[in-house]
Amino acid sequence: MCGINFRKKRLPYRGMRRGVLLLLASLLVAGCGYRFAGEESVAPAFRTVFVDTFTNRTSEPYAENIFRSAFIGRFVQEGRFKLSHSRGEADLICRGNIRSLQAAPLAYKANNLTAEDRITVTLEISFEERESGRVIWTERSFVGTGDYSVTTAGVTDSSRKNALVKLANDSAERAYRLMMSGF
């Protein structure tokens, strides 16, 4: 052999370069408000919640009951809080206001009749400490959508109600996640 060494030389700054990149990445993550999924913005001392009656500013009958039930269901399902039977016994209060509920055509059939509608809800939601009144989380324009098939009159009414229930459940789940994370 001719004695030529083909091995790559190790750069002395390779480890330092990796360390600098790691430091920059962690500063970027820390600077954007990122938190780990397990962190909650609600103090562990708070153990009970009351889901107040939702107000309904729409013409949709019983929408306030559907959305309140969805929020109650979400708090029960998550298990983080015990439901309180009255405002006065609760550590925290969840309030909601259904500001608007609109349906609009989403898809059409060949004969220009509606095949599918999209229902859009705008909620005002707040989550606050009962004693101090301090707001933990609030959203004045919380928007959610749901789609449903339009067929015959009776079937469409049933599809719309099912879509509204699903929309309420999806909204409650999303709002709960935001409440707990502080976003």
Q: Which domain holds residue 127?
A: 42-181
Binned average pLDDT, 10 residues per bin, the chain of 183 residues: 55 58 53 48 89 97 97 97 96 98 92 90 97 95 95 85 97 96 72
Alpha-carbon span 19 to 37, nearest angstrom: 26
Report the pLDDT value the prediction gives residue 176, as an integer from 0 to 100: 97
In a domain, 143, yes or no: yes
Q: What is the CATH number of the domain that holds 163?
A: 3.30.160.150
Report the pLDDT value the prediction gives residue 155, as an integer from 0 to 100: 81
Report the pLDDT value the prediction gives residue 113, as an integer from 0 to 100: 85
Report the pLDDT value the prediction gives residue 34, as an integer from 0 to 100: 47
In a domain, 28, yes or no: no
CB atoms within 10 A of CB 87: 10
Alpha-carbon span 81 to 47, nearest angstrom: 5
Q: What does each C-alpha distance from 158 to 17, 56, 104, 117, 130 come to in angstroms?
A: 62, 20, 17, 13, 38
In the chain, the number of structural domains is 1
Specify whether the CB–CB gap between 174 and 154 falls below 8 A.
no
Report the pLDDT value the prediction gives residue 121, as an integer from 0 to 100: 98
